[in-house]
Structure 1
Amino acid sequence: MQVPLFTSSPDLQAGAEGPQPAASADLLPEVALTLLAGIGPLLTRQLISYAGSAQAVLSAPAAKLQKVPGVGPAVAATLRNQAAALRQAEIILRQAEKTGTRLLYYTRPDYPTRLRPLADAPVLLYYQGTAELNAPRTLAVVGTRQATDYGREQTERLIKGVAPYQPLIISGLAYGIDIVAHRAALQEGLPTIGVMATGPDQMYPAAHRRTAEKMLENGGLLTEYPFGTGPDRYNFPARNRIIAGLADGTVVVEAAIKGGALITAELALDYDREVLAVPGNLGAAASEGCNHLIRNQQASIYTGPADIEQTLNWDNALHPTKPAKAALDPADFTPEEFRLLEALGTGEKQIDELSWRAQLPGHQTASLLLGLEFRGLVKALPGKKFARI
Protein backbone atom coordinates (compact mmCIF):
# COMPACT_ATOMS: atom_id res chain seq x y z
CA MET A 1 0.00 0.00 0.00
CA GLN A 2 1.22 3.49 -0.78
CA VAL A 3 0.05 6.65 0.96
CA PRO A 4 0.93 10.31 0.47
CA LEU A 5 3.96 11.22 2.53
CA PHE A 6 4.05 14.14 4.94
CA THR A 7 5.48 17.44 3.79
CA SER A 8 8.62 18.53 5.53
CA SER A 9 9.31 22.07 6.63
CA PRO A 10 12.07 23.95 4.80
CA ASP A 11 13.55 24.51 8.26
CA LEU A 12 14.45 20.82 8.30
CA GLN A 13 16.54 21.21 5.16
CA ALA A 14 19.54 22.56 7.07
CA GLY A 15 22.56 20.38 6.48
CA ALA A 16 26.12 20.87 7.66
CA GLU A 17 26.35 24.16 5.77
CA GLY A 18 23.13 25.64 7.15
CA PRO A 19 19.70 26.11 5.57
CA GLN A 20 19.56 25.79 1.81
CA PRO A 21 16.77 26.57 -0.66
CA ALA A 22 14.61 23.61 -1.52
CA ALA A 23 14.48 24.38 -5.23
CA SER A 24 15.31 27.14 -7.65
CA ALA A 25 13.77 28.29 -10.90
CA ASP A 26 17.15 28.02 -12.62
CA LEU A 27 16.79 24.23 -12.32
CA LEU A 28 13.88 24.25 -14.76
CA PRO A 29 15.83 22.96 -17.82
CA GLU A 30 17.67 20.36 -15.72
CA VAL A 31 14.41 18.95 -14.35
CA ALA A 32 12.74 19.05 -17.76
CA LEU A 33 15.59 17.09 -19.33
CA THR A 34 15.01 14.24 -16.86
CA LEU A 35 11.35 14.03 -17.89
CA LEU A 36 11.95 13.39 -21.59
CA ALA A 37 11.35 9.76 -22.59
CA GLY A 38 14.46 7.84 -23.60
CA ILE A 39 16.93 10.40 -22.22
CA GLY A 40 18.67 8.46 -19.46
CA PRO A 41 21.60 9.39 -17.19
CA LEU A 42 24.32 8.32 -19.63
CA LEU A 43 22.86 10.22 -22.57
CA THR A 44 22.13 13.25 -20.40
CA ARG A 45 25.79 13.43 -19.38
CA GLN A 46 26.83 13.02 -22.99
CA LEU A 47 24.55 15.82 -24.14
CA ILE A 48 25.60 18.25 -21.41
CA SER A 49 29.26 17.42 -22.00
CA TYR A 50 28.86 18.52 -25.61
CA ALA A 51 26.45 21.42 -25.16
CA GLY A 52 27.68 22.77 -21.83
CA SER A 53 24.36 22.92 -19.94
CA ALA A 54 20.83 21.56 -19.87
CA GLN A 55 19.54 24.88 -21.17
CA ALA A 56 21.93 24.67 -24.13
CA VAL A 57 20.74 21.13 -24.87
CA LEU A 58 17.10 22.19 -24.93
CA SER A 59 17.92 25.24 -27.07
CA ALA A 60 20.05 23.42 -29.65
CA PRO A 61 18.64 22.80 -33.14
CA ALA A 62 17.99 19.21 -34.16
CA ALA A 63 20.85 19.24 -36.70
CA LYS A 64 23.36 20.19 -34.03
CA LEU A 65 22.00 17.63 -31.57
CA GLN A 66 22.48 14.82 -34.10
CA LYS A 67 26.21 15.50 -34.11
CA VAL A 68 26.35 14.18 -30.53
CA PRO A 69 27.25 10.46 -30.42
CA GLY A 70 24.18 8.39 -29.61
CA VAL A 71 21.70 11.02 -30.80
CA GLY A 72 19.72 10.18 -33.93
CA PRO A 73 16.65 11.77 -35.50
CA ALA A 74 14.25 10.19 -33.00
CA VAL A 75 16.17 11.40 -29.93
CA ALA A 76 16.66 14.84 -31.47
CA ALA A 77 12.92 15.05 -32.10
CA THR A 78 12.24 14.13 -28.47
CA LEU A 79 14.59 16.86 -27.28
CA ARG A 80 12.92 19.45 -29.48
CA ASN A 81 9.42 18.37 -28.37
CA GLN A 82 9.96 19.70 -24.86
CA ALA A 83 6.94 21.87 -24.07
CA ALA A 84 5.14 19.24 -21.96
CA ALA A 85 8.34 18.41 -20.04
CA LEU A 86 8.91 22.10 -19.24
CA ARG A 87 5.35 22.46 -17.94
CA GLN A 88 5.77 19.36 -15.77
CA ALA A 89 9.13 20.66 -14.52
CA GLU A 90 7.45 23.88 -13.38
CA ILE A 91 4.94 21.83 -11.38
CA ILE A 92 7.76 19.79 -9.81
CA LEU A 93 9.65 22.92 -8.79
CA ARG A 94 6.55 24.31 -7.11
CA GLN A 95 5.97 21.00 -5.29
CA ALA A 96 9.60 20.92 -4.17
CA GLU A 97 9.36 24.45 -2.80
CA LYS A 98 6.12 23.66 -1.00
CA THR A 99 7.40 20.46 0.62
CA GLY A 100 10.94 21.58 1.42
CA THR A 101 12.41 19.08 -1.03
CA ARG A 102 15.91 19.85 -2.28
CA LEU A 103 16.67 19.02 -5.91
CA LEU A 104 20.26 17.84 -6.32
CA TYR A 105 21.55 17.94 -9.90
CA TYR A 106 24.78 16.19 -10.79
CA THR A 107 26.49 19.36 -12.03
CA ARG A 108 25.72 21.28 -8.83
CA PRO A 109 28.01 21.44 -5.77
CA ASP A 110 25.43 19.94 -3.40
CA TYR A 111 25.16 16.68 -5.38
CA PRO A 112 26.67 13.73 -3.41
CA THR A 113 30.37 13.52 -4.30
CA ARG A 114 30.44 9.72 -3.97
CA LEU A 115 27.80 9.40 -6.68
CA ARG A 116 29.12 12.00 -9.11
CA PRO A 117 31.84 9.80 -10.75
CA LEU A 118 29.46 6.87 -11.33
CA ALA A 119 28.27 6.72 -14.94
CA ASP A 120 24.87 5.22 -14.07
CA ALA A 121 24.10 7.47 -11.11
CA PRO A 122 20.89 9.52 -11.37
CA VAL A 123 21.40 13.01 -12.77
CA LEU A 124 18.71 14.40 -10.44
CA LEU A 125 17.89 13.48 -6.85
CA TYR A 126 15.01 14.58 -4.61
CA TYR A 127 16.08 14.99 -0.98
CA GLN A 128 14.24 15.74 2.25
CA GLY A 129 16.16 15.74 5.50
CA THR A 130 18.97 17.15 7.61
CA ALA A 131 21.84 14.69 7.14
CA GLU A 132 25.03 15.64 5.31
CA LEU A 133 25.13 13.33 2.29
CA ASN A 134 28.90 13.87 2.02
CA ALA A 135 29.55 12.66 5.56
CA PRO A 136 33.15 11.53 6.26
CA ARG A 137 32.01 7.96 6.93
CA THR A 138 29.06 6.24 5.27
CA LEU A 139 27.84 2.66 5.63
CA ALA A 140 25.05 0.78 3.87
CA VAL A 141 23.32 -1.99 5.80
CA VAL A 142 21.00 -4.17 3.72
CA GLY A 143 19.34 -7.56 3.82
CA THR A 144 16.30 -9.70 3.29
CA ARG A 145 12.74 -8.57 3.92
CA GLN A 146 12.17 -11.89 5.71
CA ALA A 147 14.61 -11.16 8.53
CA THR A 148 15.08 -13.71 11.29
CA ASP A 149 15.68 -13.00 14.97
CA TYR A 150 19.36 -13.68 14.29
CA GLY A 151 19.44 -11.10 11.50
CA ARG A 152 17.67 -8.45 13.56
CA GLU A 153 19.99 -9.05 16.50
CA GLN A 154 23.13 -8.85 14.35
CA THR A 155 21.90 -5.64 12.71
CA GLU A 156 21.29 -3.94 16.04
CA ARG A 157 24.68 -5.07 17.38
CA LEU A 158 26.40 -3.86 14.21
CA ILE A 159 24.85 -0.37 14.43
CA LYS A 160 25.64 -0.11 18.13
CA GLY A 161 29.22 -1.20 17.48
CA VAL A 162 29.93 1.45 14.83
CA ALA A 163 28.10 4.25 16.68
CA PRO A 164 31.33 5.77 18.13
CA TYR A 165 32.42 6.58 14.56
CA GLN A 166 29.18 8.48 13.84
CA PRO A 167 28.73 7.10 10.30
CA LEU A 168 25.80 7.93 8.07
CA ILE A 169 23.73 4.73 7.87
CA ILE A 170 22.09 4.09 4.50
CA SER A 171 19.41 1.54 3.63
CA GLY A 172 16.23 1.12 1.62
CA LEU A 173 13.41 1.64 4.16
CA ALA A 174 12.04 -1.80 3.29
CA TYR A 175 10.69 -4.50 5.59
CA GLY A 176 13.22 -6.71 7.35
CA ILE A 177 16.87 -5.78 7.77
CA ASP A 178 16.47 -2.32 6.19
CA ILE A 179 13.98 -0.94 8.69
CA VAL A 180 15.82 -2.57 11.61
CA ALA A 181 18.99 -0.74 10.51
CA HIS A 182 17.18 2.61 10.28
CA ARG A 183 15.54 2.20 13.68
CA ALA A 184 18.76 1.04 15.32
CA ALA A 185 20.56 4.07 13.89
CA LEU A 186 17.92 6.41 15.29
CA GLN A 187 18.18 4.65 18.65
CA GLU A 188 21.95 5.28 18.68
CA GLY A 189 21.58 8.87 17.56
CA LEU A 190 23.14 8.21 14.14
CA PRO A 191 21.93 9.97 10.99
CA THR A 192 20.26 7.57 8.60
CA ILE A 193 19.16 7.92 4.97
CA GLY A 194 16.34 5.93 3.39
CA VAL A 195 16.67 5.55 -0.38
CA MET A 196 13.14 5.28 -1.74
CA ALA A 197 11.77 3.53 -4.82
CA THR A 198 8.88 6.02 -5.02
CA GLY A 199 8.45 9.74 -5.44
CA PRO A 200 9.29 11.98 -2.47
CA ASP A 201 5.57 12.39 -1.68
CA GLN A 202 4.83 8.66 -1.41
CA MET A 203 5.48 6.37 1.55
CA TYR A 204 6.07 2.70 0.83
CA PRO A 205 5.53 0.63 2.82
CA ALA A 206 2.98 2.72 4.73
CA ALA A 207 3.85 0.90 7.97
CA HIS A 208 7.21 2.70 8.06
CA ARG A 209 5.75 6.19 7.94
CA ARG A 210 6.49 7.01 11.60
CA THR A 211 10.11 5.88 11.29
CA ALA A 212 10.47 7.96 8.12
CA GLU A 213 9.18 11.03 9.96
CA LYS A 214 11.85 10.57 12.64
CA MET A 215 14.49 10.13 9.94
CA LEU A 216 13.75 13.60 8.59
CA GLU A 217 14.96 15.01 11.91
CA ASN A 218 18.20 13.01 11.99
CA GLY A 219 18.81 11.72 8.50
CA GLY A 220 16.58 11.98 5.48
CA LEU A 221 14.79 10.46 2.52
CA LEU A 222 16.34 10.35 -0.94
CA THR A 223 14.93 9.30 -4.31
CA GLU A 224 15.50 9.75 -8.02
CA TYR A 225 11.78 9.53 -8.81
CA PRO A 226 9.56 12.61 -9.25
CA PHE A 227 6.47 13.42 -7.23
CA GLY A 228 3.57 11.04 -7.72
CA THR A 229 5.71 8.00 -8.63
CA GLY A 230 4.35 4.84 -7.04
CA PRO A 231 6.25 1.70 -5.99
CA ASP A 232 6.76 0.13 -9.41
CA ARG A 233 8.61 -3.16 -8.98
CA TYR A 234 11.29 -2.09 -11.47
CA ASN A 235 12.18 0.88 -9.27
CA PHE A 236 13.47 -1.24 -6.41
CA PRO A 237 16.52 -2.85 -8.06
CA ALA A 238 17.30 0.50 -9.71
CA ARG A 239 17.37 2.39 -6.41
CA ASN A 240 19.91 -0.10 -5.04
CA ARG A 241 22.65 1.55 -7.10
CA ILE A 242 22.12 4.75 -5.07
CA ILE A 243 22.49 2.82 -1.81
CA ALA A 244 25.69 1.15 -3.04
CA GLY A 245 27.09 4.35 -4.53
CA LEU A 246 26.50 6.54 -1.48
CA ALA A 247 28.30 4.16 0.87
CA ASP A 248 32.00 3.55 1.42
CA GLY A 249 31.08 0.00 2.35
CA THR A 250 28.03 -2.26 2.30
CA VAL A 251 27.22 -4.89 4.91
CA VAL A 252 24.80 -7.65 3.91
CA VAL A 253 23.29 -9.04 7.11
CA GLU A 254 20.93 -11.66 5.72
CA ALA A 255 20.07 -12.43 2.10
CA ALA A 256 18.52 -15.18 0.05
CA ILE A 257 20.49 -16.50 -2.91
CA LYS A 258 18.53 -14.07 -5.10
CA GLY A 259 17.19 -10.69 -4.12
CA GLY A 260 17.76 -6.98 -3.73
CA ALA A 261 20.49 -7.27 -1.10
CA LEU A 262 22.73 -9.27 -3.44
CA ILE A 263 22.04 -6.78 -6.23
CA THR A 264 23.25 -4.01 -3.93
CA ALA A 265 26.38 -6.01 -3.07
CA GLU A 266 27.14 -6.63 -6.75
CA LEU A 267 26.71 -2.95 -7.54
CA ALA A 268 29.01 -2.00 -4.67
CA LEU A 269 31.67 -4.33 -6.06
CA ASP A 270 31.24 -2.77 -9.51
CA TYR A 271 31.86 0.63 -7.90
CA ASP A 272 35.03 -0.65 -6.18
CA ARG A 273 33.44 -0.31 -2.76
CA GLU A 274 33.97 -2.68 0.13
CA VAL A 275 31.43 -5.43 0.83
CA LEU A 276 31.07 -7.44 4.03
CA ALA A 277 28.63 -10.24 4.76
CA VAL A 278 27.38 -11.73 8.01
CA PRO A 279 27.78 -15.54 7.90
CA GLY A 280 24.82 -17.70 8.84
CA ASN A 281 23.92 -21.31 9.50
CA LEU A 282 24.42 -23.66 6.58
CA GLY A 283 21.11 -24.47 4.98
CA ALA A 284 19.38 -21.38 6.40
CA ALA A 285 17.55 -19.74 3.49
CA ALA A 286 18.04 -16.24 4.93
CA SER A 287 21.83 -16.69 4.97
CA GLU A 288 22.40 -18.46 1.64
CA GLY A 289 23.25 -15.18 -0.11
CA CYS A 290 25.72 -14.07 2.57
CA ASN A 291 27.48 -17.42 2.64
CA HIS A 292 27.62 -17.36 -1.16
CA LEU A 293 29.33 -13.94 -1.15
CA ILE A 294 31.89 -15.08 1.41
CA ARG A 295 32.58 -18.41 -0.31
CA ASN A 296 33.19 -16.70 -3.67
CA GLN A 297 35.42 -14.07 -2.02
CA GLN A 298 33.07 -11.31 -3.13
CA ALA A 299 32.65 -10.14 0.45
CA SER A 300 34.81 -10.03 3.54
CA ILE A 301 33.44 -11.98 6.46
CA TYR A 302 31.79 -9.87 9.15
CA THR A 303 32.29 -11.16 12.68
CA GLY A 304 31.95 -7.88 14.54
CA PRO A 305 32.32 -4.08 14.27
CA ALA A 306 36.12 -4.36 14.25
CA ASP A 307 35.90 -5.90 10.78
CA ILE A 308 34.16 -2.76 9.50
CA GLU A 309 36.68 -0.51 11.24
CA GLN A 310 39.62 -2.30 9.64
CA THR A 311 38.10 -2.83 6.20
CA LEU A 312 37.02 0.80 5.85
CA ASN A 313 40.14 2.16 7.56
CA TRP A 314 38.21 3.61 10.49
CA ASP A 315 40.74 2.21 12.97
CA ASN A 316 42.43 5.55 13.63
CA ALA A 317 39.34 7.72 13.38
CA LEU A 318 38.94 8.05 17.15
CA HIS A 319 42.60 8.74 17.93
CA PRO A 320 43.56 12.17 19.27
CA THR A 321 44.12 14.71 16.54
CA LYS A 322 47.73 14.75 15.37
CA PRO A 323 49.68 18.00 15.03
CA ALA A 324 48.88 19.88 11.85
CA LYS A 325 51.00 18.98 8.85
CA ALA A 326 53.65 21.46 7.81
CA ALA A 327 52.66 23.73 4.94
CA LEU A 328 53.63 22.44 1.51
CA ASP A 329 56.40 24.24 -0.33
CA PRO A 330 55.48 24.56 -4.02
CA ALA A 331 59.18 24.51 -4.89
CA ASP A 332 59.35 20.85 -3.80
CA PHE A 333 56.79 19.70 -6.35
CA THR A 334 55.77 19.99 -9.96
CA PRO A 335 52.72 22.22 -10.49
CA GLU A 336 50.56 19.15 -11.10
CA GLU A 337 51.80 17.41 -7.93
CA PHE A 338 51.18 20.53 -5.87
CA ARG A 339 47.61 20.88 -7.21
CA LEU A 340 46.96 17.23 -6.43
CA LEU A 341 48.25 17.55 -2.84
CA GLU A 342 46.16 20.66 -2.30
CA ALA A 343 43.12 18.81 -3.65
CA LEU A 344 43.78 16.00 -1.15
CA GLY A 345 43.66 18.41 1.77
CA THR A 346 43.40 16.71 5.16
CA GLY A 347 40.69 14.12 4.48
CA GLU A 348 40.23 11.00 2.39
CA LYS A 349 39.20 11.35 -1.23
CA GLN A 350 38.51 9.01 -4.13
CA ILE A 351 40.71 9.16 -7.19
CA ASP A 352 37.87 10.35 -9.43
CA GLU A 353 37.11 13.23 -7.08
CA LEU A 354 40.81 14.14 -6.92
CA SER A 355 41.03 14.17 -10.70
CA TRP A 356 38.04 16.50 -10.82
CA ARG A 357 39.27 18.81 -8.04
CA ALA A 358 42.80 19.07 -9.44
CA GLN A 359 41.54 19.32 -13.02
CA LEU A 360 43.86 16.53 -14.15
CA PRO A 361 43.16 13.57 -16.47
CA GLY A 362 42.44 10.31 -14.66
CA HIS A 363 45.53 8.49 -15.94
CA GLN A 364 47.79 11.40 -14.92
CA THR A 365 46.18 11.57 -11.48
CA ALA A 366 46.86 7.85 -10.93
CA SER A 367 50.48 8.21 -12.05
CA LEU A 368 51.12 11.24 -9.82
CA LEU A 369 49.54 9.54 -6.81
CA LEU A 370 51.80 6.52 -7.29
CA GLY A 371 54.86 8.76 -7.37
CA LEU A 372 53.76 10.65 -4.25
CA GLU A 373 53.07 7.34 -2.52
CA PHE A 374 56.64 6.17 -3.24
CA ARG A 375 57.89 9.42 -1.71
CA GLY A 376 55.96 8.74 1.48
CA LEU A 377 53.60 11.70 1.02
CA VAL A 378 50.39 9.87 0.17
CA LYS A 379 48.84 6.59 1.25
CA ALA A 380 46.38 4.43 -0.68
CA LEU A 381 43.21 3.37 1.17
CA PRO A 382 40.43 0.85 0.43
CA GLY A 383 37.86 1.87 -2.16
CA LYS A 384 40.33 3.75 -4.41
CA LYS A 385 40.74 6.45 -1.77
CA PHE A 386 43.88 8.39 -0.93
CA ALA A 387 45.05 10.57 1.94
CA ARG A 388 48.11 12.65 2.75
CA ILE A 389 50.54 11.22 5.27
Structure 2
Amino acid sequence: LASGGALVSPFPFGEKPEPYNFPIRNEIVAGISKGTLVTEAAEKSGTLITAGLALDFNREVFALPGEIGKATSIGTNSLIRDGQAKLILGTTDILSEYEMADILTLPVNITDTPKFGDPLEASIYELIKFEPLDISSLGDKTGIDISMIACKLSMMEVHGIVEMNIDGSYSIK
Protein backbone atom coordinates (compact mmCIF):
# COMPACT_ATOMS: atom_id res chain seq x y z
CA LEU A 1 0.00 0.00 0.00
CA ALA A 2 2.80 2.39 0.88
CA SER A 3 4.33 2.01 -2.59
CA GLY A 4 1.14 2.66 -4.55
CA GLY A 5 -0.82 -0.58 -4.18
CA ALA A 6 -4.49 -0.82 -3.38
CA LEU A 7 -6.68 -2.67 -0.93
CA VAL A 8 -10.10 -3.67 -2.24
CA SER A 9 -12.58 -5.07 0.24
CA PRO A 10 -16.32 -5.02 0.86
CA PHE A 11 -15.61 -5.21 4.59
CA PRO A 12 -14.76 -2.42 7.04
CA PHE A 13 -11.10 -1.94 7.89
CA GLY A 14 -10.06 -4.16 10.78
CA GLU A 15 -12.85 -6.72 10.38
CA LYS A 16 -11.51 -10.18 11.12
CA PRO A 17 -11.52 -12.69 8.26
CA GLU A 18 -14.27 -15.26 8.73
CA PRO A 19 -14.62 -18.38 6.58
CA TYR A 20 -18.19 -17.47 5.58
CA ASN A 21 -16.87 -14.20 4.08
CA PHE A 22 -14.41 -15.90 1.70
CA PRO A 23 -16.92 -16.30 -1.18
CA ILE A 24 -17.70 -12.57 -1.00
CA ARG A 25 -14.00 -11.70 -1.09
CA ASN A 26 -13.37 -14.21 -3.86
CA GLU A 27 -16.17 -12.68 -5.96
CA ILE A 28 -14.13 -9.47 -6.07
CA VAL A 29 -10.96 -11.39 -6.93
CA ALA A 30 -12.73 -13.31 -9.71
CA GLY A 31 -14.28 -10.12 -11.05
CA ILE A 32 -11.11 -8.04 -11.29
CA SER A 33 -8.86 -10.85 -12.54
CA LYS A 34 -8.36 -11.74 -16.19
CA GLY A 35 -8.40 -15.39 -15.26
CA THR A 36 -8.46 -17.83 -12.38
CA LEU A 37 -6.00 -20.69 -11.94
CA VAL A 38 -7.23 -23.72 -10.00
CA THR A 39 -4.36 -25.86 -8.73
CA GLU A 40 -6.33 -28.08 -6.34
CA ALA A 41 -10.01 -28.28 -5.50
CA ALA A 42 -12.03 -30.86 -3.65
CA GLU A 43 -15.44 -31.85 -5.01
CA LYS A 44 -17.20 -29.25 -2.86
CA SER A 45 -14.77 -26.45 -2.13
CA GLY A 46 -14.46 -22.71 -1.98
CA THR A 47 -12.08 -22.96 -4.91
CA LEU A 48 -14.91 -24.28 -7.09
CA ILE A 49 -17.12 -21.42 -5.91
CA THR A 50 -14.43 -18.97 -7.05
CA ALA A 51 -14.04 -20.77 -10.39
CA GLY A 52 -17.80 -20.57 -10.88
CA LEU A 53 -17.76 -16.85 -10.10
CA ALA A 54 -14.98 -16.34 -12.64
CA LEU A 55 -17.08 -18.14 -15.26
CA ASP A 56 -20.09 -15.98 -14.32
CA PHE A 57 -17.92 -12.92 -15.02
CA ASN A 58 -16.87 -14.41 -18.39
CA ARG A 59 -13.29 -14.82 -17.19
CA GLU A 60 -10.99 -17.65 -18.20
CA VAL A 61 -10.58 -20.53 -15.77
CA PHE A 62 -7.42 -22.62 -15.97
CA ALA A 63 -6.80 -25.86 -14.12
CA LEU A 64 -3.71 -27.89 -13.36
CA PRO A 65 -4.74 -31.56 -13.55
CA GLY A 66 -4.30 -33.51 -10.35
CA GLU A 67 -3.80 -37.11 -9.34
CA ILE A 68 -6.78 -39.28 -10.31
CA GLY A 69 -8.77 -40.34 -7.24
CA LYS A 70 -7.12 -37.84 -4.90
CA ALA A 71 -9.83 -35.97 -2.95
CA THR A 72 -8.22 -32.57 -3.54
CA SER A 73 -8.07 -33.20 -7.30
CA ILE A 74 -11.68 -34.24 -7.93
CA GLY A 75 -12.96 -30.69 -8.35
CA THR A 76 -10.00 -29.61 -10.45
CA ASN A 77 -10.21 -32.59 -12.78
CA SER A 78 -14.00 -32.18 -13.06
CA LEU A 79 -13.57 -28.58 -14.23
CA ILE A 80 -11.30 -29.84 -17.01
CA ARG A 81 -13.53 -32.81 -17.89
CA ASP A 82 -16.65 -30.63 -18.05
CA GLY A 83 -14.97 -28.06 -20.29
CA GLN A 84 -15.23 -25.32 -17.66
CA ALA A 85 -11.47 -24.90 -17.35
CA LYS A 86 -8.60 -24.98 -19.79
CA LEU A 87 -6.05 -27.64 -18.93
CA ILE A 88 -2.64 -26.12 -18.27
CA LEU A 89 0.70 -27.80 -17.77
CA GLY A 90 2.76 -24.71 -17.02
CA THR A 91 3.04 -20.96 -17.01
CA THR A 92 3.51 -20.84 -20.78
CA ASP A 93 -0.04 -22.11 -21.32
CA ILE A 94 -1.52 -19.17 -19.42
CA LEU A 95 0.84 -16.58 -20.88
CA SER A 96 0.04 -17.84 -24.39
CA GLU A 97 -3.67 -17.39 -23.71
CA TYR A 98 -3.01 -13.69 -23.09
CA GLU A 99 -0.45 -13.44 -25.92
CA MET A 100 2.36 -12.89 -23.42
CA ALA A 101 4.45 -16.03 -24.00
CA ASP A 102 7.37 -13.90 -25.19
CA ILE A 103 7.88 -12.72 -21.60
CA LEU A 104 9.59 -16.06 -20.97
CA THR A 105 12.29 -15.24 -23.52
CA LEU A 106 13.31 -11.98 -21.86
CA PRO A 107 16.85 -12.09 -20.44
CA VAL A 108 16.98 -12.67 -16.71
CA ASN A 109 20.00 -12.13 -14.49
CA ILE A 110 20.13 -14.99 -12.03
CA THR A 111 23.10 -15.67 -9.81
CA ASP A 112 23.92 -19.13 -8.54
CA THR A 113 21.74 -18.45 -5.52
CA PRO A 114 19.11 -15.80 -6.14
CA LYS A 115 18.50 -13.22 -3.46
CA PHE A 116 14.86 -13.14 -2.45
CA GLY A 117 13.03 -10.23 -0.89
CA ASP A 118 10.20 -12.62 -0.13
CA PRO A 119 10.86 -15.18 2.62
CA LEU A 120 8.34 -17.65 1.15
CA GLU A 121 10.12 -17.63 -2.22
CA ALA A 122 13.41 -18.21 -0.41
CA SER A 123 11.89 -21.15 1.50
CA ILE A 124 10.48 -22.68 -1.67
CA TYR A 125 13.85 -22.31 -3.38
CA GLU A 126 15.67 -24.01 -0.51
CA LEU A 127 13.15 -26.87 -0.40
CA ILE A 128 13.31 -27.67 -4.13
CA LYS A 129 17.03 -27.03 -4.50
CA PHE A 130 17.87 -30.69 -3.89
CA GLU A 131 14.64 -32.53 -4.79
CA PRO A 132 11.63 -31.68 -6.95
CA LEU A 133 8.44 -31.17 -4.96
CA ASP A 134 4.81 -30.64 -5.92
CA ILE A 135 2.57 -27.88 -4.60
CA SER A 136 0.95 -30.10 -1.96
CA SER A 137 4.32 -31.23 -0.60
CA LEU A 138 5.55 -27.63 -0.47
CA GLY A 139 2.38 -26.67 1.39
CA ASP A 140 2.91 -29.50 3.87
CA LYS A 141 6.56 -28.60 4.44
CA THR A 142 5.99 -24.85 4.80
CA GLY A 143 2.58 -24.87 6.46
CA ILE A 144 1.49 -22.25 3.91
CA ASP A 145 -1.79 -22.43 1.96
CA ILE A 146 -1.27 -24.08 -1.43
CA SER A 147 -2.89 -21.18 -3.29
CA MET A 148 -0.13 -18.91 -1.99
CA ILE A 149 2.51 -21.52 -2.87
CA ALA A 150 1.06 -21.78 -6.41
CA CYS A 151 1.15 -18.01 -6.81
CA LYS A 152 4.79 -17.79 -5.71
CA LEU A 153 5.79 -20.72 -7.93
CA SER A 154 4.13 -19.05 -10.92
CA MET A 155 6.09 -15.86 -10.32
CA MET A 156 9.31 -17.81 -9.83
CA GLU A 157 8.62 -19.69 -13.07
CA VAL A 158 8.01 -16.46 -15.00
CA HIS A 159 11.31 -15.12 -13.66
CA GLY A 160 13.13 -18.26 -14.81
CA ILE A 161 14.04 -19.50 -11.33
CA VAL A 162 11.99 -22.71 -11.24
CA GLU A 163 10.33 -24.96 -13.77
CA MET A 164 7.41 -27.34 -13.61
CA ASN A 165 8.26 -30.94 -14.42
CA ILE A 166 5.97 -33.25 -16.38
CA ASP A 167 4.79 -34.89 -13.14
CA GLY A 168 3.65 -31.54 -11.69
CA SER A 169 6.62 -31.17 -9.36
CA TYR A 170 8.88 -28.12 -9.42
CA SER A 171 12.65 -27.92 -9.56
CA ILE A 172 15.32 -25.24 -9.92
CA LYS A 173 15.77 -24.22 -13.55
Normalised-by-shorter TM-score class:
0.5 to 0.7
> Counterparts of 1:251 and 1:228 in 2: how far apart (Å)?
28
Q: Which amino acid aligns with 2:75?
A: G
Q: What is the aligned counterpart of 2:27 among 214, 224, 241? A: 241
Q: Which amino acid aligns with 2:95?
A: E
Instruction: Mark the CA change 1:227 to 1:309 in structure 2 (over 3 Å): closer, same or farther.
Output: closer
Question: What is the CA deviation profile of residues 187-218 of structure 1, one whole-angstrom value per residue up to 9, with x for unaligned ones?
Answer: xxxxxxxxxxxxxxxxxxxxxxxxxxxxxxxx
Cα offset, 1:319, TM superposition: 7.9
Instruction: Mark the CA change 1:318 to 1:286 in structure 2 (over 3 Å): closer, same or farther.
Output: closer
Cα offset, 1:317, TM superposition: 5.2
Cα offset, 1:289, TM superposition: 0.8
> Counterparts of 1:271 and 1:260 in 2: how far apart (Å)?
17
Corresponding residue number in structure 1 for 2:139: none
TM-score, normalising length from structure 1?
A: 0.25
Corresponding residue number in structure 2 for 1:285: 71
> Counterparts of 1:315 and 1:233 in 2: how far apart (Å)?
36
Corresponding residue number in structure 2 for 1:302: 88
Corresponding residue number in structure 2 for 1:264: 50
The secondary structure found in structure 2 opposite 1:223 is coil
Contact 1:254 1:286 in 2 (8 A): yes
Q: How does 1:136-285 map to 2 (within 5 A)?
A: 221-285=7-71
Cα offset, 1:316, TM superposition: 4.5
Q: How does 1:317-356 map to 2 (within 5 A)?
A: none
> Counterparts of 2:105 and 2:80 in 1: how far apart (Å)?
31
Corresponding residue number in structure 1 for 2:98: 312
Which segments of structure 1 move beyond 3 Å, counting only runs of 4 or more? 316-320
Contact 1:256 1:286 in 2 (8 A): yes
> Counterparts of 1:262 and 1:242 in 2: how far apart (Å)?
15
> Counterparts of 1:308 and 1:286 in 2: how far apart (Å)?
22
Cα offset, 1:252, TM superposition: 0.4
Cα offset, 1:223, TM superposition: 2.1
> Counterparts of 1:302 and 1:225 in 2: how far apart (Å)?
34
Which structure 2 segments of 5+ residues have no match?
Answer: 107-173
> Counterparts of 1:281 and 1:227 in 2: how far apart (Å)?
40
> Counterparts of 1:304 and 1:228 in 2: how far apart (Å)?
37
Q: Which amino acid aligns with 1:233?
A: P
> Counterparts of 1:297 and 1:319 in 2: how far apart (Å)?
30
> Counterparts of 2:104 and 2:68 in 1: how far apart (Å)?
36
Q: Report which of the two has the higher share of strand.
A: 1
Contact 1:249 1:312 in 2 (8 A): no
Corresponding residue number in structure 1 for 2:116: none
> Counterparts of 1:303 and 1:313 in 2: how far apart (Å)?
17
> Counterparts of 1:290 and 1:318 in 2: how far apart (Å)?
26
Q: Which amino acid aligns with 1:258?
A: K
Question: What is the CA deviation profile of residues 58-104 of structure 1, one whole-angstrom value per residue up to 9, with x for unaligned ones?
Answer: xxxxxxxxxxxxxxxxxxxxxxxxxxxxxxxxxxxxxxxxxxxxxxx
Question: What is the CA deviation profile of residues 281-318 of structure 1, one whole-angstrom value per residue up to 9, with x for unaligned ones?
Answer: 11100111110000000000011111111122213557
Contact 1:274 1:312 in 2 (8 A): no
Question: What is the CA deviation profile of residues 315-371 of structure 1, one whole-angstrom value per residue up to 9, with x for unaligned ones?
Answer: 355789xxxxxxxxxxxxxxxxxxxxxxxxxxxxxxxxxxxxxxxxxxxxxxxxxxx
Which structure 1 segments of 5+ residues have no match?
Answer: 1-7, 16-129, 131-219, 321-389
Larger Rg, first or second structure (1 or 2): 1
> Counterparts of 1:316 and 1:281 in 2: how far apart (Å)?
30
RMSD of Structure 2 on Structure 1 (CA): 2.2
TM-score, normalising length from structure 2?
A: 0.55
Corresponding residue number in structure 1 for 2:141: none
